[in-house]
């Protein structure tokens, strides 16, 4: 075989890669190829296949700190094989080899030997449709494959320079996916292993994790769904920067959640940043430090995109009937609104009113006077002026940490029970009761409320005031609570899995503010 140079490779398997595919769609393909290949899967770790009557063997030489794999071709030979090539094939196949009557191993003889190798070698007949591109000096490829009647898609980047390969992977939005070799990916496809994915929502007040897998019938099963209060936006309103302390708390939470997702065998982890990272003047430095410490690179989404994903998550988790629907998500730095009509999103936007910002501005983390509370609520109403002229919706759905904690306190949930929270109704009278109770107590005393998440005592009063003001602005005396949100919507949207509720259009034209 001619002298070859080992190449660094990165590959992922799944039913779709929306961000990467959108990136590649804007590029001109450098090649398109259809073909049939035969893979011989073993425990040796080598990549053994037959293409165009050539036996092609690659050996894994190295895996770097970022998970890139360095593969080196060790054999590309026609059948019948020479004695030396046969010995190389034998080693890669764990001892399963054969020779024909004249001593030269043929493909049929090799397959016959494999068939009697006590299941040590699995044969996978694969049909591929491959489209190639050039990205940052690297070869990128998207392939639709079918093996034994099972179908999936794979996307790959390879090149001689590991730094360039990693940069191309990240530029295509694929940094959170696990690098999976072709043999491992095909074995998973043949075994019909369920794909799992994780979304980390990095908010101004808390970091949330959701790990899920699709189920038959278009639903989802969640293996982990929790949050950690980190106060990323603490002090942000004062000087416009995220503090080192807030950054460290958030890094610790993301690190813990990343480990949890990988322990649950998530093949991809996507991290999305919201209002706090949109506003912080040192956001780039924070994102870089988080990536360096955890290996997770955060994508900061716009307020519009945050609203869209949250609405998608609510649509999947809560039946609300027909008519006009408003979904709002109160976070630490902003509140997202999505207006829908009979399953269609008609408008969405974000307003800069959040619990952490209000708490710091008006001192709502401690007991306050009625006068001070009225100052805060007046400011909230002013910020919510853009929704004040809207018609009264048929349904109002609240999502996010503020509303889920308010209803958990209302129901006295200890421990938290998402099944009781989802679909629960929260009325104006109950909100007024809780607001008054929080108003007269400091953060530590509020923490005694059964159902209130640890660490949320200082911002719960501001959150309750925002929720109450939204209800007033939209003419509703109650709302329905959903514990679904951005992270659930992102699972559906980012991995291309067909799990959306029938009839919900995601690409309808939307009015945006």
CB 9 within 8 A of CB 157: yes
Q: What is the pLDDT of residue 48?
A: 93
**What residues have CB less than 8 Å from 361, skipping those under 6 apart?**
237, 376, 379
Q: Say how many C-beta atoms besides its own lie within 10 A of residue 507's C-beta.
A: 6
What's the pTM?
0.78
pLDDT at 238: 84
Fold of 314-493: Nucleotidyltransferase; domain 5 (3.30.420)
Q: What is the mean pLDDT of the segment spanning 152-156?
A: 95
Is pLDDT at 120 greater than 80 in this prediction?
no
pLDDT at 502: 31
- What pLDDT score was predicted for residue 2? 57
- The answer to whether 269 touches 176, Cβ cutoff 8 Å, is yes
Convert the pLDDT of each residue in 390-407 to its tens digit.
Answer: 889 999 999 999 999 999
Q: Which residues contact 146 (CB under 8 A, 6 or more apart)?
A: 126, 127
Per-residue pLDDT, 42? 85
pLDDT score of 106:
87
* pLDDT, greater one: 4 or 231: 231
pLDDT per residue as tens digits for the range 358-383: 999 999 999 999 999 999 999 999 99
The Cα–Cα gap between 220 and 317 comes to: 10
pLDDT value at 501 more than 60 = no
Residue whose C-alpha is closest to residue 10's, from 193, 192, 163, 194: 163
Query: Range with the lowest mean pLDDT among 63-67, 316-320, 336-340, 434-438?
Result: 316-320
Of 39-48, 134-143, 311-320, the poorest mean pLDDT is in 311-320
Kindly list the domain boundaries of the chain, sorted by start residue.
7-190, 197-303, 314-493
143-147, 466-470, 503-507: range with lowest mean pLDDT: 503-507
Buried-exposed string 355-377: b where 16+ CB fall within 10 A, e elsewhere: bbbbbbebebbbbbeeeebeebb
Q: What is the DSSP letter of 35?
A: E
| Percentage of residues of the chain with pLDDT beyond 90 | 65
Is residue 248 within 8 Å of 177, Cβ to Cβ?
A: no
Q: What is the pLDDT of residues 483-492, one digit of tens each?
A: 988 999 999 8
Strand duo 268-273 + 478-481: pairing: unpaired
Instruction: State the fold for domain 197-303.
Output: Nucleotidyltransferase; domain 5 (3.30.420)
Q: Are 220 and 169 in contact (CB under 8 A)?
A: no
| pLDDT tops 90 at residue 507 | no
Residue 27, helix vs strand vs coil:
coil
Mean pLDDT, the chain, as a whole number? 88
Angle, helix 18-25 to helix 486-494, in steps of 10 degrees: 50
Reading phi first (left if > 0) and then psi (alpha if -120 to 50, else beta), residue 192 is in: left
Q: Is the pLDDT of residue 218 over 80?
A: no
pLDDT of amino acid 488: 92
pLDDT(512) > 70: no
The per-residue pLDDT for 318 is 66
**CB–CB of 407/421 below 8 Å?**
yes
Q: Is the pLDDT of residue 321 over 70?
A: no
Mean pLDDT to the nearest integer, 222-241: 91
pLDDT surpassing 50 at residue 504 = no
Per-residue confidence (pLDDT) for residue 109, from 0 to 100: 85
Which of 115-119, 161-165, 482-486 has the weakest average pLDDT? Answer: 115-119
Q: What are the residues whose beta carbons fall under 8 Å from the beta carbon of 211, sequence distance 6 or more?
A: 196, 197, 198, 222, 223, 224, 225, 260, 261, 264, 266
pLDDT at residue 97 above 60? Answer: no
**Mean pLDDT to the nearest integer, 291-310:** 89
Fold match between domain 7-190 and domain 314-493: no
Alpha helices in 302-427 (DSSP H): 303-317, 355-362, 370-383, 401-411, 418-421
Name the fold adopted by 7-190: Hypothetical Protein Pfu-838710-001 (2.40.320)
């Amino acid at each position: 075989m001619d002298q070859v140079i080992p190449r660094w490779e990165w590959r992922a398997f799944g039913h779709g890669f929306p961000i990467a595919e959108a990136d590649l769609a804007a590029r001109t393909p450098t090649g398109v190829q259809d073909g049939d290949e035969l893979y011989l899967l073993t425990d040796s770790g080598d990549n053994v296949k037959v293409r165009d009557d050539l036996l092609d063997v690659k050996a894994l030489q190295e895996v770097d700190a970022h998970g890139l794999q360095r593969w080196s071709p060790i054999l590309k030979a026609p059948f019948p094989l020479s004695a030396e090539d046969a010995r190389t094939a034998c080693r890669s196949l764990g001892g399963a080899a054969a020779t024909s009557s004249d001593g030269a191993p043929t493909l049929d003889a090799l397959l016959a030997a494999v068939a009697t190798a006590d299941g040590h070698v699995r044969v996978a007949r694969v049909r591929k449709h491959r489209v190639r591109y050039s990205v940052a000096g690297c070869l990128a490829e998207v392939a639709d494959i079918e093996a034994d009647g099972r179908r999936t898609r794979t996307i790959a980047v390879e090149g001689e320079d590991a730094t360039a390969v990693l940069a191309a992977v990240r530029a295509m939005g694929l940094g959170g996916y696990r690098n999976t070799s072709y043999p491992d990916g095909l074995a998973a496809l043949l075994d019909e292993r369920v794909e799992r994915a994780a979304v980390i929502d990095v908010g101004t007040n808390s970091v949330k994790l959701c790990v899920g897998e699709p189920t038959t019938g278009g639903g989802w099963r969640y293996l982990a769904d929790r949050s950690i209060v980190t106060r990323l936006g603490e002090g942000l309103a004062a000087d416009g920067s995220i503090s080192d302390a807030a950054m460290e708390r958030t890094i610790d939470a993301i690190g813990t959640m990343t480990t949890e997702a990988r322990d649950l065998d998530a093949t991809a982890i996507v991290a999305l940043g919201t209002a706090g990272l949109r506003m912080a003047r040192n956001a780039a430095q924070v994102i870089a430090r988080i990536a360096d410490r955890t290996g997770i690179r955060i994508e900061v989404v716009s307020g519009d995109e945050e609203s869209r994903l949250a609405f998608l998550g609510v649509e999947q988790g809560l039946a609300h009937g027909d008519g006009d629907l408003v979904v709002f998500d109160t976070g630490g730095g902003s509140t997202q609104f999505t207006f829908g009509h009979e399953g269609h999103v008609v408008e969405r936007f974000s307003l800069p009113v959040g619990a952490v910002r209000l708490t710091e501005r008006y001192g709502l983390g401690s007991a306050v006077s009625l006068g001070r509370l009225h100052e805060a609520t007046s400011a909230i109403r002013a910020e919510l002026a853009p929704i004040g002229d809207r018609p009264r919706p048929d349904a109002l759905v609240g999502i996010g940490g503020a509303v889920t904690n308010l209803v958990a306190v209302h129901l006295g949930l200890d421990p938290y029970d998402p099944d009781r929270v989802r679909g629960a109704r929260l009325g104006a009278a109950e909100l007024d009761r809780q607001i008054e109770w929080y108003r007269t107590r400091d953060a530590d005393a509020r923490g005694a409320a059964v159902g209130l998440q640890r660490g949320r005592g200082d911002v719960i009063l501001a959150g309750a005031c925002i929720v109450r003001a939204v209800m007033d602005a939209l003419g509703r005396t109650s709302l329905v609570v959903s514990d679904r949100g951005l992270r659930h919507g992102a699972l559906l949207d980012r991995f291309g899995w067909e799990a959306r509720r029938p009839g919900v259009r995601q690409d309808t034209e939307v009015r945006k503010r």
